[in-house]
Amino acid sequence: MMDSINGSTQICAVIGDPIQHTLSPRMHNAAFQALGLNFAYVAFHVKDVRRAIEGMRGFNLRGLSVTIPHKVEVMQHLDEIDPLAKKIGAVNTIVNREGHLFGTNTDGLGALKAIEEHERLDGKTVVILGVGGSARGIAFAAACQRKPARLFLMHRSGSEAKANALASDVRAHSNALIAAAELAPETTRDIVREADVIINTTPVGMHPHVDACLLDESLLSERHLVFDTIYNPARTLLLQCAERRFARTINGVPMFVQQGAEQFRLWTEREAPVDVMTAAVEQALKGSA
């Protein structure tokens, strides 16, 4: 691919902190190559979001993926934000349209496609662990585009106000019973045991926290579908615990690929080669195992 990069190559990138774990370059570059597109994709470790977006303008980057922890802060530096992303309050995708920076959110769509390969959310009790940018996208998609019976937003200590605000925001657009609760033993036990679908949106379980898990293994059972949005490692400690308790599990690869496929379409105006993207991610994960 390096031989084909020239003055006409359009550059896309991912920004985040940390970023060393990302497989986005492998996935997107495989897709660009498969369709013969003059695009290249790189990763930037970013702490200063404002200056990163200035750099996007200055270098005329075609698109950005935005990952933890920048999905909320980045919104204040864009020219236009998709209405749904504005409701969600988080952006994970930016498109540079001749200097006009447009932000949107593909996380929710990717999560729904991943989950519904196994189970519909209508009428179910859904528990989301975390209340950050990814949680917002998935909560809005689950509650507003489907009809769950109940949606619980489980937050860690110190995030109560953030969780309550998210619950209020989603409740305004859904008829589901929506509540926020702290990830503490006295509240987690009953909520998790009654859940049908459990979704981890936090970085707990991802490098460098690979030995950490937000839930006690004893709370999990065969009734649960456990979805971890983390894709590297492919089997987080949460998923290992769930498998030992005979729960069905989904790692972050299907969501990662599906949200990336929508990004690809927005940047290139071409349909994404999903099979190629999935194969690239799975091969990379095998190589890092």
CA-derived radius of gyration, the chain: 19
Distance of CA 250 to the CA centre of its chain: 13
Render pLDDT for 5-35 as a digit per residue (tens, 0 to 9). 999 999 999 999 999 989 999 999 999 999 9
Instruction: State the CB neighbour count (10 A cutoff) for residue 244.
Output: 10
Identity of the amino acid at 13: A
Cα 101 to Cα 53: distance, rounded to the nearest angstrom = 9
Please state, in angstroms and rounded to a whole number, the distance separating the CA atoms of residues 256 and 107: 8
Mean pLDDT of 272-278: 97
Give the integer Cα–Cα distance in Å for 213 and 244: 14
Find the helix packing angle between 274-288 and 24-34, rounded to 10°. Answer: 140
Tell me what pLDDT residue 175 has: 87
Instruction: Note the pLDDT of residue 132.
Output: 87
- For residue 1, the model assigns a pLDDT of 55
Instruction: Find where tokens 């303008």 sit.
Output: 57
pLDDT, position 89: 87
Location of structure tokens 């929506």:
178
Span 215-247, pLDDT tens digits: 999 999 999 999 999 988 889 999 999 999 999
Q: Is 71 a catalytic residue?
A: yes
Mean pLDDT of 140-152: 94
Catalytic-role residue among 71, 113, 124, 162: 71
pTM, rounded to two decimals = 0.86
pLDDT of residue 87: 86
For residue 127, give the nearest of 192, 183, 182, 173 by alpha carbon.
Answer: 192
Which pLDDT score is estimated for 142? 94
Structure tokens at 82: 């998709």
CATH for the stretch 2-105+254-288: 3.40.50.10860
Q: What percent of the chain has pLDDT over 90?
A: 83
pLDDT tens track for 153-209:
999 999 999 999 999 999 998 889 999 999 998 899 999 999 999 999 999 998 788
User: Taking the domains of the chain in order of start, what are their residue ranges?
Assistant: 2-105+254-288, 108-251
- What's the rounded Cα separation, in Å, for the pair 233 and 288? 8
2-105+254-288 against 108-251: fold identical: yes
Task: Give pLDDT, residue 119.
Answer: 93
Angle at 241 between CA 153 and CA 214, to 5 degrees: 35
> Pick the residue with more confidence: 3 or 46?
46
Angle between helix 253-268 and helix 107-115 axes, rounded to 10 deg: 140
Q: Can the peptide bond before residue 185 be classed as cis, meaning omega within 30 degrees of 0?
A: no
- Name the band, by pLDDT with cuts 50, 70 and 90, for residue 133: confident
Q: Where residue 270 falls among pLDDT bands split at 50, 70, 90? A: very high
What value does the mean pLDDT of the chain take?
94
Its CATH class, for the domain covering 108-251, is: alpha beta
